[in-house]
């Protein structure tokens, strides 16, 4: 195809799109592009994922195998570990992880390695878009120089001259705003923010995304687009910390914070409800803000809201354990030796995602304190070894009335919809509810501890 790929080319049909990283973000994106008739190739290092995709199977609970199978059979979608096939793509979208390293600093190795895989395969007029959440400057300071090792150029230009600077390829940043499991807002309904390294790159990316989402919102640069995503997640992180702190105060004052939040949420303007919990979880909210605090240091700037929110949110699992210990103490028991059932290990309700889940911290704290701990989660029949935790010996137990009655405490960490809270409260002796999951249960309220 070569030099024919103008920015307008990307509003056409049958575009060959490569998605690098077929995880929670990359796979739905690949299927969405397949839905509208493009030819999509998923690139991943994980051969088991690639094999499953090509066999029409799924490994993400909310993505149906049937959808994958249909696209594979129609030859709209396939997966590969062969990165030389990047050469054949018109557009390449990067959806690889951006975690924190052991020192809680940005771990850019995935993005860097991916750029290194693209560079020797980069073609004239190819469009490359970074979707991974990251600090402002990543696209221009990290990805662009690696891609330009190919000998092809993509000049940085803010468009102030009103003319297109000539580039050899297009490069843009567009953050993924997917909320896995959200039934109201799927990929197609969520507006897509786009920032290009130059105006032609921005137009190329806008044209591509306009085919799969209802609204594309251009911003002036890749750095602005990178910052938009961080602002969204920092907003959540700080507001969750705020309600977590107010929950602690409310408990001390004998107030029900959930009642207070529901009351405040009736104000039709100027208030948005956030809810407390046992700590922050998921791949984004506990991680992303620290990408900005790390970058801010380069500017001699301390991001105090982020640090304070991190401090409060980190404290929450410890606070939960203290409340459980106190409630057991009133029953002349200690955490050591008590039989405790943890309900829900996923980081939020109704998802099969364990990453950064506060439940893992709760399991660790209870184990360290000598509790006899078991768990139940319909999404996790067994636990696997994770980066920071190893509970691979644990299996989800059944929730029979006899079993529920056998625990000194049932700790609700994740409020999955599948749980029968009436039955849990009826049979358990003590319920520690970190999510107000038992709000509609009428009987047995004297057994419920909010924490």
Ligand X SMILES: NC(=O)c1ccc[n+]([C@@H]2O[C@H](COP(=O)([O-])OP(=O)(O)OC[C@H]3O[C@@H](n4cnc5c(N)ncnc54)[C@H](O)[C@@H]3O)[C@@H](O)[C@H]2O)c1
Q: How far apart are the first and last CA of the chain?
A: 61
Least distance in angstroms from the C-beta of 270 to ligand X: 27
Q: Which is nearer to ligand X, 5 or 283 (CB)?
A: 283
Strands of 326-425, DSSP E: 339-343, 372-376, 409-412
Tokens for 439? 């709000």
Least distance in angstroms from the C-beta of 404 to ligand X: 32
Question: What residues line the site for ligand X (CB under 6 A)?
Answer: 20-26, 43-46, 49, 95-98, 110, 113-114, 132-133, 176, 178, 180, 283-284
CA dist 444 and 430 (Å) reads: 10
Q: Which is nearer to ligand X, 25 or 327 (CB)?
A: 25
Q: Which helix (H) or strand (E) holds 109?
A: helix 109-118
Beta-bridge partner residues of 342: 375, 411
Place of tokens 């052991």: 102
CA dist 209 and 407 (Å) reads: 52
Beta-bridge partner residues of 434: none
Tokens for 441? 């249960």
> 3-state DSSP call for residue 100?
strand
Cβ distance 342 to 366 under 8 Å?
yes
Q: Which is nearer to ligand X, 21 or 136 (CB)?
A: 21
Name the residue with the smallest CB distance to ligand X.
23
Q: Which is nearer to ligand X, 44 or 408 (CB)?
A: 44
The sign of the torsion formed by the CA atoms of 397, 367, 370, 241 equals negative
Phi, psi of 183 (to 5 degrees): -85, -15
Known catalytic residue at 451 = no
Least distance in angstroms from the C-beta of 28 to ligand X: 9
Least distance in angstroms from the C-beta of 111 to ligand X: 8
Q: Which is nearer to ligand X, 89 or 425 (CB)?
A: 89
Q: Which is nearer to ligand X, 27 or 404 (CB)?
A: 27
Neighbours of 228 (CB within 10 A): 18
Least distance in angstroms from the C-beta of 278 to ligand X: 19
Least distance in angstroms from the C-beta of 204 to ligand X: 21
**What angle is formed at CA 425 by the lines to CA 417 and CA 415, rounded to 5 degrees?**
25
Name the catalytic one among 95, 154, 284, 451. 284
Catalytic residues: 284
């Amino acid at each position: 195809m070569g030099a024919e790929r103008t920015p307008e080319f990307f509003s056409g049909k049958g575009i060959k799109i490569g998605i690098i990283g077929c995880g929670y973000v990359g796979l739905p994106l690949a299927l969405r592009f397949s839905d509208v008739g493009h030819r999509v190739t998923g690139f991943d290092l994980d051969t088991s994922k690639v094999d499953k995709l090509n066999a029409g199977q799924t490994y993400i609970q909310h993505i149906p195998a049937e959808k994958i199978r249909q696209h594979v059979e129609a030859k709209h979608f396939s997966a590969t570990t062969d990165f030389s096939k990047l050469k054949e793509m018109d557009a390449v979208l990067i959806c690889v992880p951006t975690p924190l390293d052991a020192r809680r600093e940005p771990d850019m190795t995935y993005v860097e390695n991916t750029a290194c895989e693209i560079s020797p395969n980069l073609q004239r007029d190819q469009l490359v878009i970074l979707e991974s959440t990251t600090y402002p400057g990543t696209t221009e300071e990290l990805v662009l120089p690696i891609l330009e090792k190919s000998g092809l150029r993509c000049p940085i230009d803010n468009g102030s001259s009103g003319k297109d600077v000539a580039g050899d390829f297009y490069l843009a940043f567009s953050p993924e705003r997917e909320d896995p499991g959200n039934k109201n807002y799927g990929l197609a309904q969520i507006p897509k923010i786009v920032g290009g390294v130059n105006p032609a790159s921005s137009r190329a990316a806008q044209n591509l995304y306009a085919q799969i989402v209802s609204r594309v919102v251009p911003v002036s640069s890749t750095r602005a687009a990178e910052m938009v995503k961080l602002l969204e997640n920092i907003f959540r992180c700080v507001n969750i910390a705020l309600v977590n702190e107010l929950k602690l105060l409310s408990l001390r004052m004998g107030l029900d914070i959930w009642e207070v939040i529901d009351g405040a949420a009736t104000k039709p303007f100027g208030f948005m409800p956030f809810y407390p919990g046992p700590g922050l979880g998921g791949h984004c909210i506990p991680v992303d803000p620290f990408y900005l605090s790390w970058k801010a240091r380069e500017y001699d700037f301390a991001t105090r809201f982020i640090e304070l929110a991190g401090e409060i949110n980190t404290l929450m699992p410890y606070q939960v354990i203290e409340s459980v210990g106190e409630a057991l103490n009133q029953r002349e028991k200690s955490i050591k030796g008590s039989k405790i059932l943890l309900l829900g290990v996923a980081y939020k309700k109704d998802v099969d995602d364990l990453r950064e889940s506060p439940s893992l911290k709760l399991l660790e704290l209870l184990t360290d304190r000598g509790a006899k701990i078991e768990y139940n989660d319909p999404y996790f029949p067994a636990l696997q070894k994770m980066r920071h935790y190893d509970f691979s010996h644990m299996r989800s137990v059944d929730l029979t009335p006899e079993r529920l009655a056998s625990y000194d405490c049932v700790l609700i960490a994740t409020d999955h919809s599948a749980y029968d809270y009436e039955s849990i409260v009826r049979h358990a002796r003590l319920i520690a509810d970190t999510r107000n999951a038992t709000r509609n249960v009428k009987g047995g309220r004297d057994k419920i501890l909010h924490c």
